[in-house]
Amino acid sequence: MEKINSTCFVCGKEVDPKTTSKNLMVNLPICKECKGSDKEKVKVDELLEGMADGFVCGCI
């Protein structure tokens, strides 16, 4: 699990988990090059979309 916490969730580059920032939407580390980029926004959308798979709305 340590490997997941030490890589940028967008590009996969190694980052220092103690000094890197995290994306607040998905709470994952992100490198300075990817932070604020279009690639970051696309990846966040992909991850959030995947979280809803298999859930059924109960408000019918």
For residue range 8-49, list pLDDT tens digits in order. Answer: 999 999 998 788 899 999 999 999 999 999 999 999 998 888
- Tell whether 43 is covered by a domain: yes
**Residue 6 belongs to domain spanning:** 2-50
Count of structural domains within the chain: 1
- Tell whether 60 is covered by a domain: no
Q: What is the DSSP letter of 58?
A: S
- Tell whether 19 is covered by a domain: yes
- Tell whether 14 is covered by a domain: yes
- Tell whether 29 is covered by a domain: yes
Q: Please give the single-letter amino acid code of residue 1.
A: M
43: Cα separation from own chain's centroid: 7
Instruction: Enter the tokens of residue 48.
Output: 């959030």
How big is the CA angle at 30 (ends 29 and 36), to the nearest 5 degrees? 140
- Tell whether 34 is covered by a domain: yes
- Tell whether 58 is covered by a domain: no
- Tell whether 41 is covered by a domain: yes
Predicted model pTM = 0.72
Q: What is the rounded distance in angstroms from the CA atom of residue 42 to the CA atom of residue 44?
A: 6
